[in-house]
Structure 1
Amino acid sequence: MTTHLSVARTLDRCTVLGPATRAVIWVQGCPLRCQGCVAAETLPFEGGTSRSVAELADWLCRLDGIEGVTFSGGEPFSQAGALAELLDAVRERRPDFGAMAYSGFRHEALRRGDPDRLALLERLDLLVDGPYRAPLHGSLRWRGSENQRLIPLTDRYTRALAEPDTTAGIELSVDADGSLSWAGVPPTPGFREGLEKQLAARGFVLHTEARRER
């Protein structure tokens, strides 16, 4: 039986959600409801697109010039078993493939979790943990609020983590249908609302599959 993931969005190349240039997979569904979430459309477990692990592994292995993949959402650890399986499938062909994930849960809680969550943790190089807290919003690297931590799970990204802890910025892209999508962690609160208002006044439509602040 083929394992599937419920996926909200994928991105071939991104430089603002982890070290170097990497692909991103946003999963669909999250049990948490962080106030200030900028991608509320990824919270319901209904919706998304069903993608097989084999299909996603083929996609990642075909991409040139990427260092690894970042899992965001939604809540990646709600689909931990399938994501662990995905990393195994990719690393059979690309052994030196990096992996990073976001989670609204604390690392300590994930370590007390079920076998699937432990399996994903064992395959990650870097974890950003903790829920997004709007009162603690900061201009931080790869995360939205000061309570969130960058937790190295291997020594792969030691050099990257030694760089200044400041925002990596936002990347915008115009899709084939003329709509706009973005990736990254907003350096200021209220980013999405302000951007949508300004773009709407100019006739642009912002895709709703955006990275959520955790």
Structure 2
Amino acid sequence: MAQVTHLSVARRLDRCTVLGPGARAVIWVQGCPLRCRGCVAAETLPFEGGTSSTVDELADWLVGLPDIEGVTLSGGEPFSQAAALAALLDAVRERRPDFGAMAYSGFRYEALLRGAPDRRELLRRLDLLVDGPYVASKRHGLRWRGSANQRVIALTGRYAHVADEPDTSAGVELSVEADGSLTWAGVPPTPGFREGLEERLAERGFALRTEARREA
């Protein structure tokens, strides 16, 4: 696998409890070749934009975060930057071998298995995968995903227990950033969440920062 040293990142979050098991960091990558109708994170779809971050910088950031058990990779489409993300997980696990990894993908697991070598290498490093495109007509308040066609697939034994837990919405989390801006993370359990939130905030004189959020 070719060495890739940079990632295009839309946003990152130190701690989140609604995008995977336990408390996790989240990295939203910039760029997605899919155009799922109703995507709530449309700002992450173009491959232009984002912040160029080195694998080493992101690895240092993840290793230095206290009280998290792993990272969730979202976007955008993580498997469009598979080689760099695989390198990132390797770099983190050199120092934290027990670090967990979860990813979202608009591609089906079976397609990723037949895909390019870099995509298969990223799969090999994941403990948990949420696969499949967001389909608005199949919207459902499920845990960590937005539509019923999507699956939560345990790729290692680390999170095998999630299959026995209630499959209900984990909700969303609001965060106030260091600059005072408001962002949110999670899979909205109801349609129109983003529009409704922005409207209610605007009525009170607040603006939601346009960053990467994940519909599913």
If the length of structure 1 is used for normalisation, what is the TM-score? 0.98
SS of residue matched to 2:90 = helix
Give the drift of 1:208: 1.5
The residue number in structure 1 matching 2:15 is 13
Mapping for residues 96-115 of structure 1, pairs under 5 Å: 96-115=98-117
Does the CA-based 8 Å contact 1:7-1:28 persist in structure 2?
yes
Gapped regions of structure 2 (runs ≥ 5): none
Candidates 69, 76, 88, aligned match of 1:67 = 69
Does the CA-based 8 Å contact 2:23-2:68 persist in structure 1?
yes
Aligned pair count? 214
Q: Structure 1 stretch 116-125 or stretch 201-210: which is displaced more?
A: 201-210
Gapped regions of structure 1 (runs ≥ 5): none
Does the CA-based 8 Å contact 1:40-1:212 persist in structure 2?
no
Distance of aligned partners of 1:2 and 1:113 in 2 relative to their CA distance in 1, 3 Å threshold: closer
Residues 152-210 of structure 1: CA deviation (Å, up to 9, x unaligned): 10010122331100000100011233221000000001100010000011111112214
If the length of structure 2 is used for normalisation, what is the TM-score? 0.97
Give the drift of 1:63: 0.6
Residues 8-34 of structure 1: CA deviation (Å, up to 9, x unaligned): 000000000000000000000000001
The residue number in structure 1 matching 2:128 is 126
SS of residue matched to 1:203 = coil
Query: Please, what is the CA RMSD of the aligned residues?
Result: 1.0
Give the drift of 1:213: 1.5
Mapping for residues 136-147 of structure 1, pairs under 5 Å: 136-147=138-149
The residue number in structure 1 matching 2:25 is 23
Q: Which runs of 4+ in 1 moved over 6 A?
A: none
The residue number in structure 2 matching 1:41 is 43
* Percent of paired sites with the same residue: 78
Does the CA-based 8 Å contact 2:185-2:214 persist in structure 1?
no
Structure 2 CA distance for aligned equivalents of residues 189 and 32 of structure 1 = 20
Give the drift of 1:2: 6.3
Report the residue type matching 2:19 in the other structure.
L
Residues 13-56 of structure 1: CA deviation (Å, up to 9, x unaligned): 00000000000000000000011111111000000000000000
Report the residue type matching 1:127 in the other structure.
L
Query: Are 2:80 and 1:78 equivalent residues in the alignment?
Result: yes
The residue number in structure 2 matching 1:117 is 119
The residue number in structure 2 matching 1:89 is 91
The residue number in structure 1 matching 2:157 is 155
Candidates 169, 172, 175, aligned match of 2:171 = 169
Give the drift of 1:73: 0.1
Structure 1 CA distance for aligned equivalents of residues 65 and 87 of structure 2 = 19
Residues 49-107 of structure 1: CA deviation (Å, up to 9, x unaligned): 00000000000000110000000000000000000000000000000000000000000
SS of residue matched to 1:37 = coil
SS of residue matched to 1:33 = coil
Structure 2 CA distance for aligned equivalents of residues 43 and 210 of structure 1 = 9
Report the residue type matching 1:60 in the other structure.
L
Q: Structure 1 stretch 87-96 or stretch 171-180: which is displaced more?
A: 171-180
